[in-house]
Structure 1
Amino acid sequence: MNPVVAQFVSGRLWLGRLACSLACAFTVHADPAWHAPPAEQNQGQFWRYHWYEPGLTNGNPSYQSRFRVNAPETSLHPTFGRRVEARENGVMLICAEEDLFRLTAAEFYCEAWGGHPGTANKRITVNGRSTYFLPRVGTEEGHCTYFYPAVRLKVTDLVNGYNAVQFALDQGTSFWGHMIVDNAAIRVALTNGHNDLVKLGLAGFTASVRAEPLPGQEGFALTLDVPTEAATQIASVDFQGWYEGYDENGNRERRDWHGFTKNRRLVAGLGHVGSPPFALTWDTRMLPAQTDVAVRAVIRFNTDKNLVYLTAATRDLTIAPRRGVEVGLFTPQDLPDHFWSRANQKKTCHFDLDLEPAQIEAAELHVVTWTGGAGTIKEYFTLNGVHYPVAEGDGHELIYSRLPVQPKHLKRGRNRVELLSDTEHHGIEVILPGPALMIRYRKDTR
């Protein structure tokens, strides 16, 4: 494409995306939304997932095990154009056999590697009807990313049957415009009294989360309040929290519903319970003091593995200030915009701490990585020379690590992080937002 024309098209796409974002910003959504803040989740809601299933028998032929999306330039690229990845067309069919008249909302959701840094304008078109831009989470700015977009769809975009989702993206500033989708689904909100709920004996189902402060401790006892007869229908419960903390799901929001799915299962939530009583303890000792905390539960059932009930948010919880002690999240100020090591290319960043080790009661390292392999390097990720196993193996998978750090391994001033892989292949990526230290420390009273 002529460079001038390409720039014009890219500009038009950006303006279209901006217009869409502004329209959404000034629209009040009365329909259910999975990621809505607690104030908008005042009642429980049944959702059903329809997952993308690969393979010819599902209408999804492919040349590789992973679903890949390429920029148009890839087809004739002198290096990548003859690779098998370049043969993928970015189309997936998702079978969603639903009575569309009995849906109150629909969303597209996926688990996706954001692509080579610089890849731009990731988007989907549903059944050739509406085009939706996926949220920007840092790939365009040159960062390594992994994200979990939840895109609200018009129900009129769907069909009762096979739904075609066409992915597209632009080369941007990348050497190869490319992304990978590990899992994808259309999830739909069911009306109250939906026929399928009646058949399963769930038409009158209701549940909520009770959160009680732990006496003399920091945290909450979380319990699912559900009628005894209904509890026998539950297969599992995942508790999820709304609070300010480390952005492990990579949406560039520290305060949100924390956690993400991996292989379709929630991880990095507050905990998973597979049998009654559906209860657990949420330890908040390593979270900053804050108000407006909330919790909810994602309930799955024995009769339908793709049916879930999302409880209303239990709101207005508080993580109280500690006397003489604070908990803070410390992040690097010099985070590389391309935090990816391969072929002996070392990447570094630094934590600047205005604390003495003697003040620190506890510390944790938080980091999300993509495991492309360290090659022969054994201590591939170090903090002040101490190795932390945050990207084991070479399975090309996302790993979220939350590891204890001994206070004696930290120091006032600059604390150096080093990443090194010598493999000639993919190497190791540190996913945005990069590493962070959550530190519980005594205030300096001098």
Structure 2
Amino acid sequence: MKTNRRPAWMAAYLTGAICFTATAATVQPSWDLPPSQLKEGVFWQEHWYEREPVPGTTRRLRINAPETSLGRFGDRTEARENGLMIIEVNENLFQITGAELYAELWGGHPGTANKRVSINGRSTYQLPRFGTEDGHCTFSYPVVKLPVTDLVNGRNAVQWAVDLGTTFWGHAMVDQACLRLALTNGHPRLLEQGLESFSARLIARPNETATSEGINLVLDVGESLRGRIESVAFQGWYFGYDDNGDLRQRDWHGFTHDRRPAAHLGTAEGGSVAINWDTHLLPAQKGVAARALVRFKDAPGLVYLTPAVTDLVIPDRERAVVHLHETFDAPVPFWSRAGNRKTCTIVLDVDPARIEEAELQVTTWTGGAGGVKEYFTINGVHHPVAEGHSHDRQFNRMPIDPKILKKGINTIELLSDTEHHGIEILHPGPALMIRVRR
């Protein structure tokens, strides 16, 4: 005989043994808030999309425009996918103070338009425009804030959709997706984990010596709970290269790659709760901030997002200056295949003899170079920014020999001769971070 039992938290709730208290935050919790609004620490529970094995498909969820079914690619396996994912959320929604959808999204074939997502058939949201509609190659990490009423306790239907736009095949892919839920104070999961009293904040101190520049970041947390911490990922708010493709240079930098933090300030593990943020290749600036994402042992998907530590400064240097030099003539799309060479330039206004250090920053999609060995060159010198053909996003921070640079026009060339996907340079294109002697 099958017996239906109430979960322990529900029985306790109905008998009055526990109550759920909303957090005191005056702003709806979100990972995307600016530092000035991250004044309180918040526990989040992540619920990631787990793709069921589908014969003939990859780990990625594909999204197709309606025309695909009867178009020239209608017989391909990819055309069979309908953009629907189910994310399991077993939560009492009365205990949730905020919700958002996060995704790792290959922007689609350049020209794909009207990217959108609906939740349980209740609300439809337009995804931010990051350049795909304008013909650029993109990879983005959209955050969609949701009312809790969009969700259900159980299987949530997340329907992605796109339109054909101006491209040959309206198509995009979701590598990973997650429903993130902000938990109430006194949430039963925190009680079960012994984390109901957990609180932490960042302490930031300048770390300036004769040989290094940086900011020392330490998680201030009680010794009794430090042993529960599995890892601490540090994230910075500053002006720099747009590594996550959201078209903002001053924001929270970094993203996830297959759910793991990438392009962030660093991760402390193995009992450590501190890192040194090396700032020697960032422009001098004020209004810098940092925060930490704390994960716990034996608590999958549970994350504590600390308040932001604000008003940090990367000071002016007496003997050097750092500038970000971008390209302003990137081809649209910046995509090479079948021997179609693509070129852009970066203009430098300094004598290379004064350059102390140079770094290339660029994001690519590794669709394969075919038989071309030197597929990405700066002034004729190859730099391996898109190795292999794994069809994956690759973010590069690569040292550049100042001797190959020129005052004036520096030429970047991309070439792939494969008949298949080829190599994409993702929007906003390559840039050089240059440190110059005064």
Task: Tell me which interval the TM-score lies in, with the shorter structure as reference length.
Answer: over 0.9
Find the partner of 2:50 among 50, 53, 56: 53
Of 76, 89, 109, which residue of structure 1 is paired with 2:70?
Answer: 76
Q: Secondary structure at the match of 1:389?
A: coil
1:349 is aligned to 344
Given residue 120 of structure 1, which amino acid in structure 2 is its aligned partner?
A: A
2:65 partner letter: A
Task: Name the counterpart of 1:151.
Answer: 144
**Residue 115 (structure 1) aligned with residue 112 (structure 2):** no
Structure-1 separation of matches of 2:188 and 2:339: 59
1:95-135 deviations in whole A, cap 9, x for unaligned?
A: 00111001000000100100000001100110000001111
How big is the shift at 1:229?
1.1
The answer to whether residue 417 in structure 2 is matched with residue 422 in structure 1 is yes
- Alpha-carbon deviation of 1:152? 0.2
Structure 1 runs not aligned, ≥5 long: 1-27
C-alpha separation in 2, matches of 1:215 and 1:419: 39
1:207 lines up with 2:204 in the alignment:
no
What code does the residue aligned with 1:241 have?
G
Code of the residue aligned with 1:89 in structure 2: it is N
Letter in 1 for 2:193: L
Q: How far does residue 277 in structure 1 lie from its aligned partner after superposition?
A: 2.7
Given candidates 230, 235, 243, the residue that maps to 1:240 is 235
Return the offset for 1:324. 4.1
Aligned counterpart for 1:133 among listed residues 123, 126, 134 = 126
Counterpart in the other structure of 1:437: 432
Question: Are residue 369 (structure 1) and residue 355 (structure 2) matched?
Answer: no
Checking the alignment, whether the CA contact within 8 Å between 1:112 and 1:180 is kept in structure 2 is yes
Residue identity matched to 1:392:
E
- Equivalent in the alignment of 1:181: 174
> 1:332 is aligned with what amino acid?
T
Letter in 2 for 1:211: A
Of 197, 220, 235, 2:190 maps to 197
Deviation at 1:442, TM superposition (A): 2.4
RMSD: 1.3
Separation in structure 1 between the aligned mates of residue 58 and residue 313 of structure 2, nearest angstrom: 48
- 1:228 is the counterpart of 2:223: yes
Match of 1:297 in 2: 292
Report the 3-state secondary structure (helix = DSSP H, G, I; strand = E; otherwise coil) of the residue aligned with 1:49: strand
**Conserved 8 A contact 1:96-1:162:** yes
Distance between the aligned counterparts of 1:233 and 1:328, measured in 2?
A: 41
Q: Which amino acid aligns with 2:165?
A: G
Task: Using the TM superposition, name which of 171-180 and 47-56 deviates more.
Answer: 47-56
C-alpha contact (below 8 Å) 2:386/2:423 kept by paired residues: yes
- In structure 1, the partner of 2:10 is none
Counterpart for residue 282 of structure 2: 287
**Among 62, 87, 90, which residue is 1:94 paired with?**
87
The Cα shift of 1:280 comes to 1.2
Provide TM-score, normalisation by structure 2: 0.92
Is 1:323 aligned with 2:318? yes
User: Residue 274 of structure 1: CA displacement?
Assistant: 1.1
- 1:262-283: CA deviation from partner (whole Å, max 9, x where unpaired): 0100000000111223111111
- Three-state SS of the structure 1 residue aligned to 2:132 is coil
Supply the distance in 1 between the matched residues of 2:68 and 2:275 (Cα, whole angstroms). Answer: 49
For the residue of structure 2 that corresponds to 1:173, the secondary structure is coil
Q: Which residue of 2 aligns with 1:25?
A: none
With over 3 angstroms needed to count, the CA separation of the structure-2 counterparts of 1:235 and 1:141, relative to structure 1, is same
The CA distance in 2 between the partners of 1:338 and 1:204, in whole Å, is 51
- Pair 1:412 & 2:407 matched: yes
Deviations 1:20-64 (A, max 9, x none): xxxxxxxx98111101000000011100110110116xxx88844
Q: Which residue of 1 aligns with 2:380?
A: 385
**Code of the aligned partner of 1:237:** V
Question: CA contact under 8 A between 1:64 and 1:85: conserved in structure 2?
Answer: no
Cα deviation 1:335-360 (Å, max 9, x = unaligned): 11100000000000001111111111
Kept in 2, the 8 Å contact 1:52–1:94? The answer is: yes
Ranges in structure 2 where 5+ consecutive residues have no aligned partner: 1-24
Q: Distance in 2 between matches of 1:324 and 1:220?
A: 19
The equivalent residue for 1:164 is: 157
Contact 1:55 1:61 (8 Å CA) reproduced: no
Q: Distance in 1 between matches of 2:112 and 2:188?
A: 44
The amino acid across from 2:27 in the alignment is A
- Residues 55, 62 of structure 1: 8 Å contact kept: no
Residue 273 of structure 1 is matched in structure 2 by 268
CA contact (8 A) 2:360 2:431 kept: yes
How many residues are paired up? Answer: 412
SS at match of 1:140: helix
Q: For 2:55 and 2:162, how far apart are their aligned partners in 1?
A: 20
Which is further off, 39-48 or 60-69?
A: 60-69
Counterpart Cα distance in 1 of 2:334 and 2:433:
20
Structure 2: distance between partners of 1:53 and 1:396: 20
Distance in 2 between the 1:228 and 1:430 partners?
46
Aligned residue type for 2:205:
E
The equivalent of 2:41 in structure 1 is: 44
Please tell me whether the aligned partners of residues 163 and 170 of structure 2 are also in contact (alpha carbons under 8 angstroms): yes
Percentage of matched positions with identical amino acids? 57
Structure 1 Cα separation of the partners of residues 158 and 248 of structure 2: 27
Is the contact made by 1:371 and 1:391 (CA closer than 8 Å) also made in structure 2? Answer: yes
TM-score, scaled to structure 1: 0.91
Assess if the C-alpha contact under 8 Å between 1:54 and 1:61 holds in 2.
no
CA contact (8 A) 1:63 1:87 kept: no
